[in-house]
Amino acid sequence: MTIQLTAGPIPSAGLDPLEPAFQLDPYPYYHWLLRNDPVHLGNEETWYVTRFADVRLVMSDQRFGCASVRDWWEEMIGPGALKDIMRDTMFFEDNPNHARLRSLISPTFAPSRMRALQPKIDEVVDELLTPLAHRGEMEVVSDFAAPLALTFVCELIGIPRSGYEGVRKWSLDIAPTLDLIPSDEEIVAGNAAMGAFTDYLRELIDSRRGDHGPDLISVMLEAAEGDGVDGRPVTMNEMISTVISVVFAGHDTVTNQVSNTVLALIRNPDQMALLRRRPELVDNTVEESLRFDSAVQSNSRRVDEDVTIGDRQLRKGDFVVALMGAANRDPEKFDDPDRFDITREGTKTMSFGAGMRYCLGAILARLELRTALDRLIRLPDMHLAMPEEEISYQRSSMFRSLVKLPVTFDPVPTFPN
C-alpha cells in the first residue's frame, strides 16, 4: 500500500474515525499521526494514542478502565436488551471481576485444546473450499471466512449446527451497537437481535443442565451449579453475556482477518507469488497480515486517574482510544511499516491486545488463518472480481470489516491438491 502524504490529513476539529475517507483507509491518517501528533486530541474531545508503546500502556495499565466505559455506553445505548445483557460482559469489567469471568472461560481456550483442533480445522477448511475450488469463484467473506470462523466459535461454545445461521445474523445486527456511535436504527436492530439471541441461549443453556461436555456452556453450568467462581455464583446473565462476548471475539474478528489477508495478498501479487513458491512462509504471513491490516483496529478506555502520555496530560474521566492498527505501523517498532512483507521476522503486534485482556482465542485464530492461507494459495491466478474502487467496509471505528470480497481463480478439479 502506498501512503499518500499530505500537509495534514487530520481536520482542524480533530480525528473523526467515522469519516468516510478514514473508514475506507485509515492508514494515511495513522501515518501522519505517528509522525506528527502521536497522542492526539480528536473529535468529541477523545484522545487517540498511536505509538506501539503508548497503545500497549493504555491496553494493559489498570489506570485505564473499561468499567467506566460501560457507564458511558449504557447512557448512549438506552434501555433494552442490549443494556440488560452486555452490562455483565467482561469487555466492560475491570479487576477483580474481569479476572473472575476470564478464569471461568480460560479452560475452554487451553493451548493444548486449541492445538488439538488442528485436524478438525483442516477438515472444515477443505469442506468449505472444495466446491468453491471446482467453481472457480467465491465471495470470500460469506462463502468461506464467516462459515469457517462460525463453525469453531460455535463448537467451542456448544452451539449446535442448527443455531449457526441465527448466531451469524444476530451478531451482525448487534455488532454496530458495540462501536463508538451507533445510529438510532442500529440500536433498535441491536436490541431486537439481542432479545432473540438471549432467548435462544437461555433455552439452550437450560436444555444442557445435567448433560455436560467439554464446551463453554458446560464449563459455565458446572460453575453455576457448584461453588461459582471465587466464591461468587455465576448468573444466567453472566453466562449469556460471556457467550455473546466469545462470539464477537472469535467469529467477527477471524472472519475479518481472513478476508483482509486475502485482499492484502491480492493487492501485493509479488507476496502472493512468494508464498506460493515458499509455503513455509505461511506462519510469517499470518503475523504480517495481523500487523498490516488487523481486523481489530482500536479499543476504548476511560482514564481512572490522571496520567501523562508523552507530553500530554490526560485527566481522570477522559475518553481514550488505543489505535492498535496505528501501533502496528509504528516506524519506531517496524522497519518500512507501510510495506506488506511476508519475510518480516519476529513480528509482535497489538492485534490481540495486551496485558490481562490479551485475547484468549489468539492461538485458535492463528491456526484458522494459517490453514486457510495454506489452502487458498493452491487456487491459481486468484484476483479481485470487482473494481478496486468498489471495495467498501462496514461502518465501524473498532473493526476493519470488508462488506464483501468476490474473487475468481482458475478452477481446480482436484482439491486439495
Per residue of the chain (417 residues), what is the pLDDT tens digit?
A: 445 544 567 877 789 988 999 999 999 999 999 999 999 999 889 999 999 999 999 999 999 998 888 888 888 889 999 999 888 888 888 888 888 888 888 888 889 989 999 999 999 999 999 999 999 999 999 999 999 999 999 999 999 999 999 999 999 899 888 876 788 999 999 999 999 999 999 999 999 888 788 889 998 898 887 766 766 788 898 899 999 989 888 888 999 999 999 999 999 999 999 999 999 999 999 999 999 999 999 999 999 999 999 999 999 999 999 999 999 999 999 999 999 999 998 888 999 998 878 888 899 999 999 999 999 999 999 999 999 999 999 988 889 999 999 999 999 999 887
pLDDT at 228: 63
Helices (H), 78-183: 81-86, 97-105, 111-115, 118-135, 146-157, 164-174
- Please report whether residue 26 resides in a domain: no
Residue 72 lies in a domain: yes
Question: Does any domain span residue 140?
Answer: yes
Please report whether residue 414 resides in a domain: no
The reply to whether 311 falls in a domain is: yes
Residue range of the domain that includes 342:
35-408
pLDDT at 253: 92
* Amino acid at the residue 211: D
Beta strand pairing call for 46-49 and 319-323 = parallel
pLDDT at 416: 85
Note whether residue 14 is domain-resident: no
Rounded-to-integer distance, Cα 239 and Cα 283, Å: 34
16 in any annotated domain: no
d(CA 407, CA 417): 20
Count CA atoms closer than 13 A to 256's CA, side-chain side: 25
- The neighbouring-strand residues paired with 402 are 393
> Is 30 inside a domain boundary?
no
The domain tally of the chain equals 1
pLDDT at 6: 47
The reported pLDDT for the residue numbered 179 is 76
pLDDT of residue 7: 53
Integer angstrom CA distances of residue 374 from 187, 377, 384: 39, 6, 19
CATH number of the domain that residue 68 is part of: 1.10.630.10
